[in-house]
Amino acid sequence: MAITIEKLNELLNHDLELEYSAAIQYINHSAVMKGAAYGDIIKELKIHANEEIAHAMILADQIDFLNGEPTVNVGDIKTSKENETMLKQDLEGEEDAIRRYKIRIEQSEDLKEFALAQQLRNILAMEQEHAMDLKQALGI
Ligand SMILES: [Fe+2]
Ligand SMILES: [Fe+2]
Ordered per-residue pLDDT tens for the chain, 140 residues? 789 999 999 999 999 999 999 999 999 999 999 999 999 999 999 999 999 999 999 999 999 999 999 999 999 999 999 999 999 999 999 999 999 999 999 999 999 999 999 999 999 999 999 999 999 999 99
Position 130 scores a pLDDT of 98
Q: Which one of the ligands is nearest to 53 CA?
A: 1
3-class SS of residue 104: helix
Q: Ligand 2 centroid vs 122 CA: distance in angstroms?
A: 11
Give the pLDDT score at 97. Answer: 99
pTM of the model as a whole: 0.97
Distance 52 CA to ligand 1 centre (A): 4
Under the phi-then-psi rule, with left for phi > 0, alpha for psi from -120 to 50, and beta for the rest, what region is 21?
Answer: alpha
Nearest partner of 86 among 77, 99, 75, judged by Cα: 77
Task: Please enumerate in sequence order all residues whose Cβ is within 8 A of that of 122, keeping only pairs 6 or more positions apart, or say none.
Answer: none
- Rounded CA-CA distance 54/106 in Å is 22
**Can you count the helices (H) and strands (E) in the chain?**
4, 0
Distance 134 CA to ligand 1 centre (A): 14
pLDDT score of 20: 98
Instruction: Say what the pLDDT of residue 64 is.
Output: 98
pLDDT at 58: 98
Q: How far apart are alpha carbons 96 and 102 in whole angstroms?
A: 10
Q: Cα(94) to centroid of ligand 2, in Å?
A: 5
Ligand that comes closest to the CA of residue 54? 1
User: Quick one: pLDDT at residue 136?
Assistant: 97
